[in-house]
Amino acid sequence: MPNLHNHLNNLPMKNRLFQATVACLLCVMGCFCVSCAPKADPYKDTIKDIIVKAEVPLIQLESNFNGERLSYQIENPNFYDSVKIAAGTATPKPAVFQAASLSKVVFAYIVMKMYDKGEINLDTPICNYTDIDRFVDKESAAKLTARLVLNHRTGLPNWSKGPSTEEWPTSPITFKFPVDSCYGYSGEGFAYLQRAVEKIRGKKIDEIAKEEVFAPLGMEYTSYEWQPMYDTLTVDGYNKDGENRGKGRHPRANVGYTLRTCAADYSKFLQALLDGTGLSPEAKEVFFTPCAEKAIRYAGNHRKSDDSIAWAMGIGTEDNAEFGKVLWHWGDNGSFKALFIIIPSANGYLTYFTNSNHGHDIINDITALIIKNQAPFAINDWINKKND
């Protein structure tokens, strides 16, 4: 390599000054370019590796901890054309997903806002607001309250019949357990409370949700009912064998499972929950306070994860050694799976949506990457493991 110092010494003074100036400028520009080069994304490639390994076609993820926001929509090249992925046209943006049971938390928020306004009493029998015609055991049905529904302590089954069938709206409902005897996850209970809310307001649930949640929070892609925009924005779901099962249109709005949304929209809702937007401090406290009994998911099969999980008003809680009380919910419509975790002590949340039956296989990997928890959340085992 030529010696720059000797080369400059052999030039006339004017040329030496000029070239020295140029050399200094190039040096400064080089340093500037290095310092201003875009930083490598510490998450995107890892998230992609996680979904490829788990055979998840698509993930949308949003998180915000102490103002540091992450937002991703990442396609699996084994399911989508890599050329289209590179061009950003593999899937619609924003892709809209089935939110599955994350639908319930939006409804719980509506109920708590109504409670705050004195429109509904959490401990008044729901039969005071609507009929109990579908229930076989009328005496037990007359004991059901909004609190029992939101705590999942109604004693009802998840569904009396497939809720998307023609028969479901008139199908008879029988009790699985005595009322308020144990935790028992039930979409049927939420659908019953939905009818009461609609009766109180004199409106259908999607209209109520738009007024109370979607419009105020700017959730423009979110609805309990199918919208024309979903024809192009909604993504197909994939079963455990990687087979395309389509978009899965639902025949009627049901607060138990029919919400469609995108991660960016739902993150606005999670921020509202974290902030207590639209709720008095007392209502927020009631909303997030779990009942005393733990949420033993499988009756007669007490697992270690059950010791940490309880249910508040339509939202799960975990007693976590690292973070204290954690708020969460999962969504499972088979070929669409979703999750959110709110950590009040860390002033933040994480949510993700997938179009895959394998969408909950990635919980530990995603939380460790984004939240950086020292030990896995009990949430993972509570969702994924039937036995210890």
Q: Is the pLDDT of residue 42 over 70?
A: yes
Domain 44-99+222-384 superfamily per CATH:
DD-peptidase/beta-lactamase superfamily (3.40.710.10)
Task: For 268-312, write each residue's pLDDT tens digit.
Answer: 999 999 999 999 999 999 999 999 999 999 998 999 999 999 999
Name the pLDDT band for 66 (thresholds 50, 70, 90). confident
Sheet containing 337-343: give its strands across. 68-75, 58-65, 348-354, 337-343, 324-332, 316-320, 309-311
The radius of gyration of the chain's CA atoms, rounded to the nearest angstrom, is: 26
State whether residue 285 is helix, strand or coil.
helix
Helix axis angle for 102-116 and 187-201, nearest 10°, is 40
User: C-alpha angle 260/265/267, rounded to 5°?
Assistant: 115
CB atoms within 10 A of CB 6: 8
Amino acid at 140: S
Q: Is the pLDDT of residue 6 over 50?
A: no
- Mean pLDDT, residues 127-141 taken together: 98
Average pLDDT, the chain: 93
Provide the whole-model pTM. Answer: 0.90
Amino acid at 285: E
Strands (E), 20-155: 58-65, 68-75, 97-98
Indicate the domain borders of the chain. Answer: 44-99+222-384, 107-198
> Measured between alpha carbons, how far is residue 150 from residues 10, 245, 313 in Å?
86, 31, 5
Burial 296-314 (b: 16+ CB within 10 A, else e): bbeeeeebebbebbbbbbb
Report how far residue 54's alpha carbon sits from residue 303's, in angstroms, rounded to the nearest whole number.
Answer: 25
Lowest mean pLDDT among 2-16, 57-71, 145-159, 315-329: 2-16
pLDDT at 298: 96
